[in-house]
Chains A and B, each alone.
Chain A
């Protein structure tokens, strides 16, 4: 089903990796359980359907673990497993005519509007809402606590906005592809992504970047 599988089989045949190292991941139930949970969380948010998400994760894991020995580092394995899952989810979304009623997307969008809190009547930032300089955002990704904040902020988004954001930024589907699979217009997509990003950045700024944790000076 996936090109990656074929590529990997070839790679497998020529792999010279130590068989003992290969067995490590497969014999670590804790690692597998955690990986599965993480994938499931991701798939559920994308598909909004528990059964479909379970199936997609199951398939991706089985396919991936057959070839797990190719990865010396767990993070490399994870990247690859998520690559497979990403394709599975994209497939499901493509096949589905519309998995969320366009009307419900729009309704949620109208109900949720915090623009006045951010901008003045003239459309300029309120002074206390003006985006700050995040310094070196690449430093943040190295810190475990940052990821907890990131998840909190992501889960704080309205569900449909979170899903759209993940389709675009996590799975990196084309804007056109997303519009087709959800049967929404391009301008709807732009508005929803804009709102998702506005909220996400605000949340990250308030909960992380303005707290001094980015520099390691903050208390947990």
Chain B
């Protein structure tokens, strides 16, 4: 697995359950690749930002 494939799966993980095989390959790749490990965390961060944007976007007005 290379980074292109790994990042693709890290994105798809947000939209569908990965197979056991995909999970395993991804686990092995991210163990040795810090870039993709960061990418995976960033995918979750994007979800956090999206929900925060909708919910709390301009609470500074209060």
Task: Give chain A's interface residues, CB within 8 Å of chain B.
Answer: 31, 34, 38, 42, 73-75, 78-79, 82, 86, 115, 119, 122-125, 130-134, 137-138, 140-141, 144, 147, 150, 165-166, 168-170, 175, 186, 189-190, 193-194, 197-198, 200-201, 204-205
Category for how many chain B residues contact A: 35 or more
The residues of A that contact B34 with a CB separation of less than 8 Å are 130, 133
**What distance in Å separates the Cβ of B35 from its nearest Cβ neighbour in chain A?**
4
Select which of A75, A132, A170, A194 is within 8 A of B50 by beta carbon: A170
Residue of B nearest to A190 (CB): B12
Instruction: Please list the 10 inter-chain residue pairs (A to B) with the smallest Cβ-Cβ separation, ordered nearest first.
Output: A123-B2, A130-B35, A123-B4, A169-B50, A137-B45, A131-B38, A194-B11, A141-B52, A131-B39, A75-B59
A128 and B16 CA atoms in complex are apart in Å by 30
* Majority SS at the chain B contact face: helix
**Least distance between A159 CB and chain B CB atoms (Å):** 17
The answer to whether B42 and A134 touch across the interface, beta carbons within 8 angstroms, is yes
On whether the beta carbons of A34 and B61 are closer than 8 Å, the reply is yes
Closest B residue to A191 using CB positions: B8
B61 close to A125 (CB less than 8 A): no
A83 to B12, CA, bound (A): 25
Residues of B within 8 A of A (CB): 2-5, 7-8, 11-12, 14-16, 34-36, 38-39, 41-43, 45-62
Q: Are A133 and B4 in contact (CB under 8 A)?
A: no
A146 to chain B minimum Cβ distance, whole angstroms, is: 8
Contact assessment for A201 and B48 in the assembled complex, using a CB-CB cutoff below 8 Å: no
Q: Is the CB of A123 within 8 A of B48?
A: no
User: Least Cβ distance of B5 to chain A in Å?
Assistant: 6
Choose one: B3, B51, B52; the contact of A123 (CB below 8 Å). B3
- Which of A82, A131, A144, A190 lies at the interface centre, i.e. has the most chain B CB atoms within 10 A of its CB? A131
